Structure 1
């Protein structure tokens, strides 16, 4: 599980931090996240992981089990497939997923790369759709994973086409933490990077999220020109290197974003 932000962290920037939290809900979601991260845990291990009383943990896992979201096996608990149904339904209801899967599939095939659709939620990026390329790719991130916008090509594409006041709220709330030695962490340098993205409609991740991986993305915008998502391709090679790739990968990414935009905007 990606641990960029957990439910017991500070609330995301767009929530009202003054609003009271339902602590029982927070605890249940902490239990869910711990099981997601570790796979299977018993009550004692869960209590130690979450620094909670065993009785409290037992009450929450028992409730989740009775509701069909947790399964007990040999005195340990794991997440049940109830979450799969919720996640799949949420994914299918995204317009960009519905109209963008086909173009993203074709982009992956045309470029021989991993292709993805990213959306922004609570100041973070999430993969709404991800197309692996061949069996040789052991992907570090999958559909539904949360990622930092500033260290990903898709995130940069979204931020560059986000209204300035909202973009500054995101940067203020989440900062520019280093993910690798290549991550842009200087605020002025990052703003300059976003200006370049807006000028070219192309964003790059040059080993800024994962060492050895490169990514190029383009924004998918609405009628007002604001980003609703981004489409990207990723590979263990630099894009635009004529000695390695003959096709215009950035151009293919942009044309795919345009095709998805046209579908989203059509009545």
Structure 2
């Protein structure tokens, strides 16, 4: 038995949920093929998850059920920063015309808990609910810069995966950049997490000056460059993050 997942059946049910989410409507045979499981085993999991309201069946296809929504809402609302920051993130998207997001720190990872698109914004590579590698984007680096050194050490020791050719994969280089971020309270992502996209982020810290979240704005490279990126949007992001932080304290 895998020590990471002691209860195999639970792990399989989560695999089923994730496969259904990725397919957006899928039948038993296709799920069995994708998961490399027998159709009878997949069918039992589908039946159980459907009875619990976590999946919904339409004809021969299965979809995520609205019963999951209650879990998601409860998980997000336990973070006070979400409630405090949401109006500010929405205003930031409106003023910048780009994609504004709130990344929350939880158990060594960053999760996008709120995201709003400005009127002219394109669909971003990350969306609400996505977990991101902290070393590979502006919001994640901002959070790392304001976490204890031992947490940075763990991230480096686990390996800095290259998401794009611009991702920082060297531990010492990452540490140097985190020091610069602490000096300025701002981080940049220049196509480090998605080719063709850039972002800028600033931390939301607690009373101990540890990051609990980060506010960011992202957009395509042709819109996020020069003075627009380095001054205009950066100023908006930093002031928004500081406003959220003040409201939390």
**Shared fold by TM > 0.5?**
yes
Structure 1 match to 2:170: 186
Give, in whole Å, the separation in 1 of the partners of 2:25 and 2:95.
Answer: 39
Structure 2 match to 1:211: 195
Give, in whole Å, the separation in 1 of the partners of 2:199 and 2:229.
Answer: 14
* Alpha-carbon shift at residue 172 of structure 1 (Å): 2.0
Structure 2 match to 1:169: 154
Give the direction of change, closer, same or farther, for the CA distance of 1:105–1:61 in structure 2 (3 Å limit): same
Give the direction of change, closer, same or farther, for the CA distance of 1:245–1:159 in structure 2 (3 Å limit): closer
Give, in whole Å, the separation in 2 of the partners of 1:98 and 1:138.
Answer: 24
Structure 2 match to 1:248: 232
Give the direction of change, closer, same or farther, for the CA distance of 1:58–1:240 in structure 2 (3 Å limit): closer
* Alpha-carbon shift at residue 139 of structure 1 (Å): 2.5
Alignment partner of 1:148 out of 124, 133, 136: 133
Which aligned pairs between 1:2-151 and structure 2 lie closer than 5 A?
21-134=6-119, 136-151=121-136
Q: TM-score, normalised by structure 1?
A: 0.86
Give, in whole Å, the separation in 2 of the partners of 1:162 and 1:136.
Answer: 31
SS of the aligned residue for 1:47 comes to helix
1:135-176 per-residue CA deviation (whole Å, 9 max, x = no partner) reads: 651222211111111111000000000101122113323x21
Deviates more, 1:140-149 or 1:231-240: 231-240
Give, in whole Å, the separation in 1 of the partners of 2:121 and 2:143.
Answer: 29
Structure 2 match to 1:15: none
Question: Does the Cα contact within 8 Å between 2:122 and 2:219 map onto a contact in 1?
Answer: no
Question: Does the Cα contact within 8 Å between 2:139 and 2:200 map onto a contact in 1?
Answer: yes
> Where in structure 2 are there 5+ consecutive unaligned residues?
none
Question: Does the Cα contact within 8 Å between 1:240 and 1:249 map onto a contact in 2?
Answer: no
SS of the aligned residue for 1:248 comes to helix
More helix by share: 2
Runs of 4+ in 1 over 6 A off after TM superposition: none
Question: Does the Cα contact within 8 Å between 1:216 and 1:239 map onto a contact in 2?
Answer: no
* Alpha-carbon shift at residue 251 of structure 1 (Å): 2.0
* Alpha-carbon shift at residue 123 of structure 1 (Å): 2.8
Give the direction of change, closer, same or farther, for the CA distance of 1:161–1:246 in structure 2 (3 Å limit): closer
Which aligned pairs between 1:193-208 and structure 2 lie closer than 5 A?
193-208=177-192
Q: TM-score, normalised by structure 2?
A: 0.92
1:50-85 per-residue CA deviation (whole Å, 9 max, x = no partner) reads: 111221111111000111111122222111111122
Structure 1 match to 2:213: 229
Give the direction of change, closer, same or farther, for the CA distance of 1:161–1:113 in structure 2 (3 Å limit): same
1:261 aligns with 2:245: yes
> Where in structure 1 are there 5+ consecutive unaligned residues?
1-9, 11-17
1:185-227 per-residue CA deviation (whole Å, 9 max, x = no partner) reads: 1111111111111111110100111111110001110000100
